[in-house]
Amino acid sequence: MRAKYADMEERISRITDIKRSPIDLYNNVKGSKATRETRMEVVAWITVCLFDCKLEGGFVRDWVVGKYTSRPNIVNPHDWVEYHTNPAGKKIPSIKEEVVPRDLDCHLPTHAEFDSDKFQDELYKFGITCEIVREDWRYVVLVDNDAPTGPFTMDLIEPHITLTHDRIDLDVNNLVLEKNYTRDLGMRIDIQQKLYSIELETIVENIKNKRFQVLRSIDDRVTGRIKKMVNVRHWEQVGQPLNVIPNPDRKYSAVLVLLHHSSTLYQIILRKMQLIDKNIRIISIEEIKNPDLEETYEGMKKLIERQCSGNKSNECELFHGTSGDAITGITEYGFDDRFFSRDGLWGKLNYFLYNYLFIK
């Protein structure tokens, strides 16, 4: 792959190589071959190499890997900028969806405080101007608003918010660049291990062929992202959607993740529960992530498939009701049918577990 995509490595190094000279950087900003994308690379270099940020998101996908560019049918690039008002009354800039690459997404480091004045000074050394809007969880930066090459925005996300960004919506959005890794792409969330086993090379090939796979439970937000990728960007959705939940901390065997009420799975469970009792009220639904049990489950599934006609297991989704005290044990160690009791019926309705069983 390195031999096949040498130009991709060059774009990676232009963002992550701290040894780039001021002359080299200046040529990418002011030289005869300077473009909007090379100017974005310089701003990304300053953010990554001088301020220890991690670069993620659409710029890595669309430009660093895909080398995709597009422009809207608008004569004046200044009109690419749109504004919306946030709850605090501040006007937040963004770039029209038709512009590719659209923006830079950066996560601020945990070990240093971000100095916005110093950041603007570093940009100004190369004649780059910007406007910064401060929100509770990020800085929104509008760059090159009056430049003939066209404006772009950048999100600088606060570290305490970064820690909560442990889910990924699409495989092609799971890439990250860091300082001094001058030839390498990284994964923000590790999805190379079981059960997902999605290799970095697969993601690169998907980007090169304008394909993507959904890696999160389908809800309103994910649906909007899919529509944008398919209808606006003209990419193709491939494979079955997966629900990738990061592994729990080493101190724990399982983690619970709240399921959004607009997600497809939430709505399926709601409808099936209402068949049991139409007046039932769901307070919340949480997904269980237990890597050890999942691996055991997948291994058992393969054994059962070998014994079934057409190598297909008759997999059914069932409900199991229990008391609150039993949930922890089931979450950490799985089901033990030796404790089954006909007298228990469904248990307490507010403590339902939605689980998967095989029936031959």
- The answer to whether residue 92 scores a pLDDT higher than 80 is yes
344: confidence class by pLDDT, cuts 50, 70, 90:
low
Give the pLDDT score at 145.
96
pLDDT greater than 80 at residue 82: yes
From first CA to last CA, the distance across the chain in angstroms is 43
- Helix axes 22-30 and 36-45, enclosed angle (nearest 10): 150
Residue that wins the pLDDT comparison between 353 and 185: 185
* Residue 358: band (very low, low, confident or very high) from pLDDT cuts 50, 70, 90: very low
The CA distances from residue 176 to 48, 56, 57, 257, in Å, are 11, 5, 8, 24
What is residue 294's predicted lDDT score, i.e. its pLDDT? 85
Contact 108, 155 (CB under 8 A): no
Buried b (16+ CB within 10 A) or exposed e, 160-174: eebeeeeebbbbbbb
Task: Show Cβ contacts of residue 354 under 8 Å, excluding neighbours closer than 6 positions.
Answer: 269, 285, 317, 319, 320
Q: Is the pLDDT of residue 45 over 60?
A: yes
Q: Can you give the residue ranges of every domain in the chain? A: 6-197, 255-358
Beta bridge partners of 249: none
Cα–Cα distance between 340 and 98 in angstroms, integer?
A: 57
Strands 175-177 and 91-95: unpaired
Q: How far is CA 181 from CA 51, 190, 284, in A?
A: 15, 17, 42
The model's pLDDT over 129-153, given as tens digits with 9 standing for 90+, comes to 999 999 999 999 999 999 999 999 9
Q: Assign domain 255-358 to its CATH architecture.
A: Alpha-Beta Complex (3.90)
- 208-231 pLDDT, tens per residue? 999 999 999 899 999 999 999 999
Rounded to 5°, angle at Cα 164 from 159 and 166? 115
Distance separating alpha carbons of residues 137 and 156, to the nearest angstrom: 9
What pLDDT is stored for residue 345 in this prediction? 56
Query: Is pLDDT at 198 greater than 90 in this prediction?
Result: yes
Which amino acid, 91? K
Region 69-88: mean pLDDT is 94
